[in-house]
Structure 1
């Protein structure tokens, strides 16, 4: 199982300056982490930070977790991914996600309709560009070139370092998981519990089988689980650092009627708690919402507590079929977070997990 580090976006708590992001990046690079992931919401963008931070690393690969599909045309995404693949010497991973209705429609002005169909066409067009073909596409959501105009089918001028930049999809719901298995090279999972991974892998295998992989084989497919990392003497202290982030997603990443993370928590068996967290968060009682997140939910979906417990959970992720574990380090200070990054690598090595 490979290790990755998820740095979030510029402005995330603890990474509100580039020095912090750079310190965590260097710690991960020195400790043998395989990949660094960067995110975007409606602040900093992934490409700028990936290009900047990659200049300081020797071995770390870079990935977008995620590029927002409504934020860029598929052609622009192909251009950006090709550029980053060149900059990093063939070490860029293109993670894509549809975002949510509030960001898609409120920030980017793109209707959040048929997200599965839009994602399929988006990936089709990117792969056409990577295949060194003139990009001509006639779909429900994308028409290239536009009809009855001066446009012509063009070919990507700057080729990526590799024939194909690997494409990952951030997926939560069952149908999106199936689509990910069918058209992507990897899955970006959030709030991934080893106890529920077999069900999610089964959904990926349905898609892989549709794509022609015998028996839905996941050979060569990267299963990436993102998990909070909060080392502490006890589980409660470790969990408390991650409560606010969990509450933000379960309670506030979406509306009362459509919140993918809330639905995920319900499918995991936390129905009553998910409702309570959402009600409190939407009533702007953010502190109470954070405390309402069950410790068991955090323990299932993150690495918290003492070294021995973290080691057990690392084995659980590996045994469940996770191929890359990407951690978002939390701590009471930047030095604590840097130390956690290094300590996790030591635990992985001592347990023979990489």
Structure 2
């Protein structure tokens, strides 16, 4: 099992967080991590940060977690991915996701309709571009070139370093998981619990079987799970660092009617708690919402506690089927977070998992 680091966004934690992102990426690079992931919502964008930060590392792959499908045309995304793959010397991974209705319609002005169909067509067009073919596509959501004007079928001019940049999808719901197994090279999972992963892997295998992989084999497919990393001798202290982020997603990332993370928590058996966290968060009682996040939810989806607990959790993820574990380090200071990055790598190597 390989290790990755989630660096998140720029501009959400203070004026110095670009320097902190660079320091964290450098520490991960020096510690033998495989990949660093960058996020975007409606602030900093991934490509600018990936181009800048990748210049300060030597071995790390760089990935988008995620580039938002409603934010760019598929052709623009193919151009961006090809450029970043060139810049990084073949070390870019293209993570895609549909975002959510509030961001898609409120920020990008794109209707959140038929997300699965839109994703399928989007990936089809990107792969056509990577295949060095003139892009002609006639779908429900995308028509290239437009049939009633002077447009012509064009070919991507700048080729990526590799024949195909690996494509990952961020998926949560069962149907989206199946689609990910069918059309992607990897899955970006959030709030992944080793206890509940078998059900999600079965959904991925269903998609892989549709794509012609014998028995739905996941050979060559990257199961990339995200997990919070908080190291402290006191378990409560370690877990409490993750509460605000969990409450944000389970309670605030979406409306009462459509919050994918809330629905995930419910499927994991936290129905009552998910409802309570959402109610509190949407009532702007953010601290109460954080306090209401079940400790068991944090324990299942994170690596928390003293160093000696890390080995068991790493083995749990690896044995469940995770092939890349992407950690988000938490700590009271930047130095604490960097120390956690290095400590996890040391434990993984000692356990034969690095």
Fold equivalence (TM over 0.5): yes
Equivalence map 1:339-350=2 (5 Å): 339-350=339-350
CA RMSD of aligned residues (A): 0.8
Point out where structure 1 has 5 or more consecutive residues left out of the alignment. none
1:128 corresponds in structure 2 to 128
1:10 and 1:44 in contact (8 A); partners too: yes
1:149 corresponds in structure 2 to 149
Distance 1:291 1:263, change over 3 A: same
Q: Deviations over 1:234-253 (max 9, x none)?
A: 22111100000000000000
What's the CA shift for 1:18? 1.2
Separation in 1 of the partners of 2:14 and 2:25? 13
Runs (4+) of structure 1 exceeding 6 A deviation are: none
2:215 corresponds in structure 1 to 215
Equivalence map 1:192-341=2 (5 Å): 192-341=192-341
Q: Deviations over 1:144-182 (max 9, x none)?
A: 000110000000000000000000000000000000000
2:61 corresponds in structure 1 to 61
Separation in 2 of the partners of 1:12 and 1:120? 32
Equivalence map 1:63-82=2 (5 Å): 63-82=63-82
1:9 and 1:15 in contact (8 A); partners too: no
User: How many pairs were matched up?
Assistant: 354
What's the CA shift for 1:33? 0.2
1:63 and 1:95 in contact (8 A); partners too: yes
What's the CA shift for 1:352? 1.1
Separation in 1 of the partners of 2:82 and 2:15? 27
2:181 corresponds in structure 1 to 181
- Structure 1 residue matching 2:257: 3-state secondary structure: coil
1:9 corresponds in structure 2 to 9
Separation in 2 of the partners of 1:233 and 1:121? 49
| TM-score using structure 1 length | 0.99
Q: Deviations over 1:126-161 (max 9, x none)?
A: 000000000000000000000110000000000000
What's the CA shift for 1:13? 3.3
What's the CA shift for 1:12? 3.6
2:95 corresponds in structure 1 to 95
What's the CA shift for 1:310? 1.8
Distance 1:107 1:21, change over 3 A: same
- Structure 2 residue matching 1:59: 3-state secondary structure: coil
Moved more, 14-23 or 135-144: 14-23
Separation in 1 of the partners of 2:103 and 2:23? 30
Equivalence map 1:15-30=2 (5 Å): 17-30=17-30
Separation in 2 of the partners of 1:28 and 1:188? 19
What's the CA shift for 1:254? 0.3
1:10 and 1:16 in contact (8 A); partners too: no
Q: Deviations over 1:251-288 (max 9, x none)?
A: 00000000000000000000000000000000000000
Q: Deviations over 1:41-72 (max 9, x none)?
A: 10000000000000010100100000000000
Distance 1:14 1:185, change over 3 A: farther
Separation in 1 of the partners of 2:282 and 2:163? 46
Separation in 1 of the partners of 2:172 and 2:15? 26
What's the CA shift for 1:351? 1.1
1:242 and 1:330 in contact (8 A); partners too: yes
Point out where structure 2 has 5 or more consecutive residues left out of the alignment. none
What's the CA shift for 1:14? 6.9
- Structure 2 residue matching 1:7: 3-state secondary structure: strand
What's the CA shift for 1:11? 2.3
1:167 and 1:184 in contact (8 A); partners too: yes
